[in-house]
A = this chain, B = another copy of it.
Amino acid sequence: MIINVAMCQMNVVPGRPDINTETMLDMIAEAKSKKADIIIFPEMCIPGYLLGDTWEQAAFLKDCEYYGNKIIEASEDQIIIFGNVAVDWHKIGDDGRVRKYNACFIAHNEKLLGGDNFPYPFRIKTLLPNYREFDDERHFFGLRKLSEELDIKINDLIEPVYAPFKGKQIGLGCIMCEDGWTENYSIKPIEFINNKGGVHLNINISSSPFTLGKYNKRNRIFSEQARTTGTPLVYVNNTGIQNNGKTIYSFDGSSTFYNGGGEIIGHCGSPFVQSVEITKLDLTDQGKSITANKHPVKEDVEYIYQTLCHAIREFTTSIGINKVVIGISGGIDSAVTAALYARVLKSDNILLVNMPSKYNSTTTKNLAASLANKLGCLYTVLPIQHVVDETINQIEDTPAVRSIDNTELKLKISRHMAENIQARDRSARLLAAVAAAFGGVFTCNANKTELTVGYSTLYGDQAGFLAALADLWKHQVYELAIYLNKHIYQKEVIPQGIIDLVPSAELSFEHDVDKGQGDPVIYPYHDYLFRAFIEPWERVTPEDILKWYSEGVLEERIGCEPGLVNKIFSTPKEFIEDLEQWWKLFNGIGLAKRIQSPPILAVSRRAYGFDYRESQIGTYFTKHYYDLKEKLLS
């Protein structure tokens, strides 16, 4: 018995039930024309998923119901499966507001299936993720709470949905996203359903953002589920972008069909691209007769390039922007930013601006001009020295006075203050005004290493409408530069001089690139140290670092080059001073600046913003840290 299954990997526009419903109706028509028997859409494809507190608007919920009904009405002889918010207007959630479920609807002949063996005519999500960017418990009432409320064992609530097909009944195991990621839960929805027997196809509808490394993990987990249950499994995920304000997620889709042996028998064309894909599933052999369709394995840098381009394209479109201004210094971050945008926007919609002060070298000024030339973008040079001098003079020459006692206070601008004045002059005085006049916005070119320790100026180089590189460590920015030249442009658009140059802010005569004088950050070590503070699931603190240092396993544990630590630090004292300095910056001024940073494109397993939630609580060293330190220094 052959069944035609359509995976509708749709580009979900968050917060737009009207647009999403239109897209779905188009995709349904396409699937019908391709003789689909089952048409499957992603989780929350009508409202979108990451909507912040929009779920609190009753009018929005009613609207989602209205559009959901349009999809139900579009089902004829096919089975249409889609995600939407389901509202029980007669009950409340734990927050006292109307109760909402993250739900899976199964429609057939304009009616909903599945209400015969479940309290509602739809299925609800069992496992609600509350980590990283997810806030499911904040918004939705899950099956675990419903089980508690109804005093029915959860196993008795997780049943297959039976659907008519060619005069027979087929069993569908309908689950949603996290329900399939059960390694940390004692509740295993897929097992519960399949133990009941009679399941012909497991269906996981998801809204699962891209993360570096997730693609392989997904394949491993879902393939194993299909193999273990001996039942084919189809995974449908959306494309597009969604955000939590500060953090923007790309969705790669990567919808995939596994046969009962765990082998891939179909997938939607390309990641990040909307498409309808039909897979013929032979129910008599769990699809095992079809040849597996292998995916090419990609390097991290390819995924990074793909997700950044996708997110920049979608984000600029979503906010109605097609022109950007990019401040280019002749350094690596701004060069990579420019080369990325030039793949998304037309080159005459990109204005590159070099803003030299007296500290900028001829080397970097020439490199900036060369970059603009190679990318074919608009280019201008706006020097800042004159206004920077005027700012310093104005402040130093105007005393403050206290009238009650005629106290007079004269202010003095130090070298460090003058550095920040330059950075703010570039972004807040010039780029913001140039962007407005150009009819666009200006970019923030900061990377994750800088953002971690606040090595950028607030309202200066940390400003902008979007920080596209802010989830990449400095070494990843270099990798991306090389990849762009070699594989994307296939010529040297980022001048090799920019890649070879020592990274430097060029904000004083002590930052002399021609003498190799650059940033205080030692990227080959600090990139990995900082990453350990944030990205591992079990996060690392100075106590762990010191322990590993004293055991001689630090490089191995944080993943940097072996032998590097002793090359950089000749004594434990030096090592500890360095560690404490950066830990303080990370928790202090770095954090304060991140609160006011632009939105960040998420790439890694932990991006700043809503993914990695921070409180401004200052720097802390544990009791055991001090014990270890004392031992090391004595």
Chain A residues with a Cβ under 8 A of chain B: 14-16, 18, 48, 50-54, 56-60, 62-63, 66-67, 92-97, 127, 129-131, 135, 137-138, 144-145, 147-149, 154, 183-186, 242-246, 318-319, 347-348, 351, 353, 372-373, 376-382, 386-387, 390-392, 394-395, 398-404, 407, 409, 411-414, 417, 420-421, 424-425, 427-430, 432-434, 436-438, 458-460, 463, 465, 537-541, 543-544, 588, 591-592, 594-599, 610, 612-618, 620, 622-625
Contact = CB atoms under 8 A, between A and B. Distances in A.
Contacts of A402: 347-348, 376-379
29 contacts: A48-B617, A53-B613, A54-B617, A57-B539, A57-B540, A58-B539, A59-B544, A63-B622, A94-B130, A95-B130, A130-B135, A130-B137, A130-B138, A242-B615, A243-B615, A245-B595, A245-B613, A245-B616, A373-B403, A373-B404, A376-B403, A386-B390, A390-B390, A391-B430, A411-B437, A413-B436, A414-B437, A417-B433, A465-B592
Nearest to A441: B592
A380 B400 contact: yes
A63 B95 contact: no
A301 to B, nearest CB: 28
A391 to B, nearest CB: 6
Residue of A348, A391, A403, A409 with most chain B CB atoms under a 10 A cut-off = A403
Contact of A617 (B14, B432, B613): B14
Contacts of A92: 184
Q: Which 10 A-B pairs have the closest CB atoms?
A: A428-B428, A15-B617, A96-B184, A411-B437, A380-B400, A59-B543, A52-B615, A63-B622, A137-B137, A95-B131
A433 B138 contact: no
Nearest to A538: B58
Contacts of A433: 391-392, 395, 413, 417, 420-421, 424
A67 B540 CA distance: 20
- Which of A66, A184, A429, A537 has most B Cβ within 10 Å? A429
Nearest to A315: B616
A63 to B, nearest CB: 4
A266 to B, nearest CB: 30
Given A144-B148, A245-B615, A382-B394, A400 B624 contact: no
A59 B97 contact: no
A623 B96 contact: no
A395 B387 CA distance: 13
Contacts of A429: 387, 391, 421, 424-425, 428-429
Contact of A15 (B95, B353, B620): B620
A597 to B, nearest CB: 7
A184 B620 contact: no
Contacts of A56: 538-539
B378 A398 contact: no
Contacts of A183: 96
A401 B352 CA distance: 10
A244 to B, nearest CB: 6
- Per DSSP, chain A at the interface is mixed
A407 B381 contact: no
Contacts of A544: 58-59
Contacts of A436: 413-414, 417, 420
Contacts of A543: 59
A303 B443 CA distance: 42
Contacts of A540: 57
A557 to B, nearest CB: 14
Contacts of A148: 144, 147-148, 154
Nearest to A417: B436
Nearest to A376: B404
B409 A351 contact: yes
B401 A378 contact: yes
B401 A434 contact: no
A599 B613 contact: no
A592 B319 contact: yes
A625 B18 CA distance: 13
Given A387-B387, A428-B424, A15 B52 contact: no
A372 B353 CA distance: 41
A615 B244 contact: yes
Contacts of A394: 382, 387, 430
Contact of A135 (B53, B424, B463, B613): B613
A437 B413 contact: yes
Contacts of A391: 387, 429-430, 433
Contacts of A458: 432, 463
Contacts of A48: 617
Contacts of A62: 622, 624
A8 to B, nearest CB: 21
A52 B613 contact: yes
A409 B463 contact: no
B401 A379 contact: yes
Given A130-B95, A403-B372, A318 B245 contact: no
Contacts of A379: 400-403
Given A51-B617, A373-B403, A402-B376, A432 B437 contact: no
A63 B59 CA distance: 47
Contacts of A51: 615, 617
A394 B540 CA distance: 48
A616 to B, nearest CB: 5
A512 to B, nearest CB: 24
Nearest to A370: B403
Contacts of A377: 402
Given A184-B92, A616-B319, A618-B319, A595 B348 contact: no
B131 A16 contact: no
A625 B403 contact: no
